[in-house]
Amino acid sequence: MAPRSHTQLRRELIDTCLAMNRLGINQGKAGNASVRVPEGLLITPSGLAYERMKPADIFTIDPEGRARGTGAPSSEWRFHFDIMKSREDANAVLHAHSPFCTALACLGMDIPAFHYMVAVAGGDSIRCAPYATFGTQALSDNALRALDGRRACLLANHGMICLAGGLDAALNLAVEVETLAQQYWRALQIGTPRILPPDEMQTVLEKFRTYGKR
Protein backbone atom coordinates (compact mmCIF):
# COMPACT_ATOMS: atom_id res chain seq x y z
CA MET A 1 0.00 0.00 0.00
CA ALA A 2 1.38 3.41 -1.00
CA PRO A 3 2.24 5.80 1.84
CA ARG A 4 -0.37 8.46 2.53
CA SER A 5 0.42 12.02 1.53
CA HIS A 6 0.83 14.85 4.01
CA THR A 7 -2.51 16.27 2.85
CA GLN A 8 -4.24 12.96 3.61
CA LEU A 9 -2.59 12.73 7.04
CA ARG A 10 -3.54 16.33 7.82
CA ARG A 11 -7.16 15.52 7.02
CA GLU A 12 -6.97 12.37 9.16
CA LEU A 13 -5.65 14.44 12.08
CA ILE A 14 -8.61 16.80 11.81
CA ASP A 15 -11.04 13.89 11.48
CA THR A 16 -9.52 12.26 14.58
CA CYS A 17 -9.98 15.43 16.64
CA LEU A 18 -13.56 15.84 15.41
CA ALA A 19 -14.18 12.21 16.40
CA MET A 20 -12.74 12.87 19.88
CA ASN A 21 -15.34 15.56 20.45
CA ARG A 22 -18.14 13.57 18.84
CA LEU A 23 -17.38 10.55 21.05
CA GLY A 24 -17.37 12.70 24.19
CA ILE A 25 -13.72 12.16 25.12
CA ASN A 26 -12.85 15.79 24.46
CA GLN A 27 -14.59 19.16 24.39
CA GLY A 28 -14.30 22.36 22.37
CA LYS A 29 -10.77 23.38 21.44
CA ALA A 30 -9.14 21.23 24.14
CA GLY A 31 -6.89 18.32 23.32
CA ASN A 32 -4.52 17.77 20.40
CA ALA A 33 -3.19 15.04 18.15
CA SER A 34 -0.08 14.27 16.14
CA VAL A 35 1.15 11.75 13.60
CA ARG A 36 4.69 10.76 12.61
CA VAL A 37 6.02 11.61 9.13
CA PRO A 38 9.54 11.19 7.66
CA GLU A 39 10.16 14.91 8.21
CA GLY A 40 9.25 14.74 11.90
CA LEU A 41 5.61 14.98 12.95
CA LEU A 42 2.39 16.71 12.02
CA ILE A 43 0.42 18.29 14.87
CA THR A 44 -2.76 20.29 15.32
CA PRO A 45 -2.47 24.07 15.84
CA SER A 46 -3.11 26.00 19.02
CA GLY A 47 -6.52 27.44 19.87
CA LEU A 48 -8.35 26.69 16.64
CA ALA A 49 -11.74 24.96 16.72
CA TYR A 50 -11.61 21.60 14.99
CA GLU A 51 -14.70 22.46 12.95
CA ARG A 52 -12.79 25.36 11.40
CA MET A 53 -9.51 23.53 10.94
CA LYS A 54 -8.15 22.95 7.43
CA PRO A 55 -5.20 20.83 6.28
CA ALA A 56 -3.10 23.97 5.78
CA ASP A 57 -3.53 24.81 9.50
CA ILE A 58 -1.67 21.68 10.60
CA PHE A 59 1.94 22.26 11.74
CA THR A 60 5.09 20.31 10.97
CA ILE A 61 7.63 19.83 13.77
CA ASP A 62 11.02 18.81 12.38
CA PRO A 63 13.49 16.43 14.11
CA GLU A 64 15.16 19.42 15.85
CA GLY A 65 11.85 20.58 17.33
CA ARG A 66 11.36 23.52 14.95
CA ALA A 67 7.77 24.31 13.95
CA ARG A 68 6.61 25.20 10.45
CA GLY A 69 3.15 26.65 9.93
CA THR A 70 1.03 29.75 10.35
CA GLY A 71 0.24 30.89 13.88
CA ALA A 72 1.36 28.53 16.65
CA PRO A 73 1.43 24.74 17.03
CA SER A 74 -0.39 23.05 19.90
CA SER A 75 0.94 24.25 23.25
CA GLU A 76 1.59 20.56 24.04
CA TRP A 77 3.86 19.95 21.06
CA ARG A 78 6.76 19.17 23.46
CA PHE A 79 5.34 15.92 24.80
CA HIS A 80 4.21 14.83 21.33
CA PHE A 81 7.75 15.49 20.07
CA ASP A 82 9.47 13.81 23.03
CA ILE A 83 7.18 10.77 22.96
CA MET A 84 7.83 10.15 19.27
CA LYS A 85 11.55 10.75 19.74
CA SER A 86 11.79 8.18 22.53
CA ARG A 87 9.18 5.62 21.41
CA GLU A 88 9.46 3.84 18.07
CA ASP A 89 5.97 2.39 18.59
CA ALA A 90 4.44 5.88 18.79
CA ASN A 91 3.40 6.83 15.28
CA ALA A 92 0.39 8.74 16.61
CA VAL A 93 -0.19 10.57 19.90
CA LEU A 94 -3.53 11.80 21.18
CA HIS A 95 -4.20 14.07 24.15
CA ALA A 96 -7.71 14.74 25.48
CA HIS A 97 -9.46 16.24 28.49
CA SER A 98 -11.79 13.27 28.74
CA PRO A 99 -14.23 13.68 31.66
CA PHE A 100 -13.61 10.53 33.72
CA CYS A 101 -9.87 10.34 33.09
CA THR A 102 -9.60 14.00 34.08
CA ALA A 103 -11.72 13.47 37.20
CA LEU A 104 -9.37 10.72 38.40
CA ALA A 105 -6.34 12.78 37.36
CA CYS A 106 -7.59 15.70 39.46
CA LEU A 107 -7.35 13.34 42.43
CA GLY A 108 -3.87 12.20 41.37
CA MET A 109 -5.16 8.63 41.00
CA ASP A 110 -3.74 5.83 38.88
CA ILE A 111 -6.13 3.33 37.32
CA PRO A 112 -5.11 -0.01 38.90
CA ALA A 113 -5.85 -3.51 37.60
CA PHE A 114 -9.49 -3.46 38.71
CA HIS A 115 -10.39 -4.90 35.27
CA TYR A 116 -8.24 -7.04 33.00
CA MET A 117 -8.73 -4.55 30.13
CA VAL A 118 -6.36 -2.17 31.91
CA ALA A 119 -3.72 -4.28 30.11
CA VAL A 120 -4.79 -2.68 26.83
CA ALA A 121 -2.60 0.27 27.86
CA GLY A 122 0.44 -2.01 28.12
CA GLY A 123 0.77 -2.84 31.81
CA ASP A 124 -0.99 -3.64 35.07
CA SER A 125 -1.96 -0.01 35.70
CA ILE A 126 -2.52 3.29 33.95
CA ARG A 127 -0.29 5.72 35.79
CA CYS A 128 -1.06 9.33 36.64
CA ALA A 129 1.87 11.66 35.91
CA PRO A 130 2.57 14.36 38.53
CA TYR A 131 1.25 17.83 37.76
CA ALA A 132 3.27 20.36 35.78
CA THR A 133 2.17 23.50 33.92
CA PHE A 134 0.76 22.79 30.47
CA GLY A 135 3.14 23.22 27.55
CA THR A 136 6.29 22.86 29.66
CA GLN A 137 9.26 20.54 29.44
CA ALA A 138 8.48 19.44 32.99
CA LEU A 139 5.08 18.16 31.87
CA SER A 140 6.68 16.29 28.98
CA ASP A 141 9.28 14.73 31.31
CA ASN A 142 6.54 13.65 33.75
CA ALA A 143 4.47 12.16 30.94
CA LEU A 144 7.42 10.18 29.56
CA ARG A 145 8.05 8.62 32.96
CA ALA A 146 4.36 7.71 33.38
CA LEU A 147 4.35 6.19 29.87
CA ASP A 148 7.40 4.00 30.50
CA GLY A 149 6.24 0.53 29.43
CA ARG A 150 2.74 1.89 28.79
CA ARG A 151 0.67 3.21 25.89
CA ALA A 152 -1.50 5.56 27.97
CA CYS A 153 -1.29 7.71 31.07
CA LEU A 154 -3.22 10.32 32.98
CA LEU A 155 -1.89 13.82 33.61
CA ALA A 156 -2.61 15.17 37.09
CA ASN A 157 -5.17 18.00 37.10
CA HIS A 158 -5.18 17.93 33.31
CA GLY A 159 -6.25 14.95 31.17
CA MET A 160 -4.87 11.90 29.41
CA ILE A 161 -2.42 10.80 26.70
CA CYS A 162 -2.56 7.75 24.40
CA LEU A 163 -0.02 6.59 21.85
CA ALA A 164 -0.31 3.94 19.15
CA GLY A 165 0.90 2.85 15.75
CA GLY A 166 -1.68 5.00 13.95
CA LEU A 167 -4.41 7.55 14.49
CA ASP A 168 -7.29 5.04 14.44
CA ALA A 169 -5.56 2.86 17.02
CA ALA A 170 -4.78 5.87 19.23
CA LEU A 171 -8.41 6.99 19.11
CA ASN A 172 -9.65 3.48 19.90
CA LEU A 173 -7.25 3.27 22.84
CA ALA A 174 -8.39 6.66 24.15
CA VAL A 175 -12.02 5.51 24.08
CA GLU A 176 -11.08 2.32 25.95
CA VAL A 177 -9.06 4.21 28.59
CA GLU A 178 -11.89 6.67 29.15
CA THR A 179 -14.32 3.76 29.48
CA LEU A 180 -12.04 2.14 32.06
CA ALA A 181 -11.82 5.43 33.96
CA GLN A 182 -15.60 5.66 34.01
CA GLN A 183 -15.98 2.05 35.19
CA TYR A 184 -13.38 2.56 37.92
CA TRP A 185 -15.06 5.78 39.06
CA ARG A 186 -18.44 4.01 39.22
CA ALA A 187 -17.00 1.08 41.14
CA LEU A 188 -15.47 3.48 43.67
CA GLN A 189 -18.93 4.90 44.37
CA ILE A 190 -20.02 1.49 45.70
CA GLY A 191 -16.92 0.29 47.49
CA THR A 192 -13.29 -0.73 47.06
CA PRO A 193 -12.74 -2.56 43.76
CA ARG A 194 -10.92 -5.89 43.83
CA ILE A 195 -7.52 -5.58 42.15
CA LEU A 196 -6.30 -8.42 39.95
CA PRO A 197 -2.94 -9.88 41.04
CA PRO A 198 0.24 -9.18 39.01
CA ASP A 199 0.52 -12.79 37.76
CA GLU A 200 -2.97 -12.65 36.27
CA MET A 201 -2.27 -9.33 34.60
CA GLN A 202 0.94 -10.80 33.16
CA THR A 203 -1.14 -13.66 31.72
CA VAL A 204 -3.54 -11.13 30.18
CA LEU A 205 -0.67 -9.11 28.71
CA GLU A 206 0.72 -12.26 27.08
CA LYS A 207 -2.69 -13.12 25.63
CA PHE A 208 -3.04 -9.56 24.30
CA ARG A 209 0.12 -10.01 22.23
CA THR A 210 -1.82 -12.21 19.80
CA TYR A 211 -5.37 -10.97 20.48
CA GLY A 212 -7.20 -10.06 17.27
CA LYS A 213 -4.32 -11.13 15.02
CA ARG A 214 -5.05 -13.48 12.11
Catalytic site residue from 64, 76, 176, 206: 76
Find out whether 42 and 69 touch, Cβ atoms under 8 Å: no
**H or E element, residue 33:** strand 32-37
DSSP 158: T
Strands 40-43 and 32-37 turn out to be antiparallel
Task: Report how far residue 65's alpha carbon sits from residue 144's, in angstroms, rounded to the nearest whole number.
Answer: 17
Buried b (16+ CB within 10 A) or exposed e, 145-157: ebbeebbbbbbbe
Instruction: Establish whether 178 is a catalytic residue.
Output: no
d(CA 12, CA 16): 6
| H-helix segments, the chain | 6-22, 77-86, 99-105, 137-146, 167-190, 198-208
Residue positions annotated with a catalytic role = 76
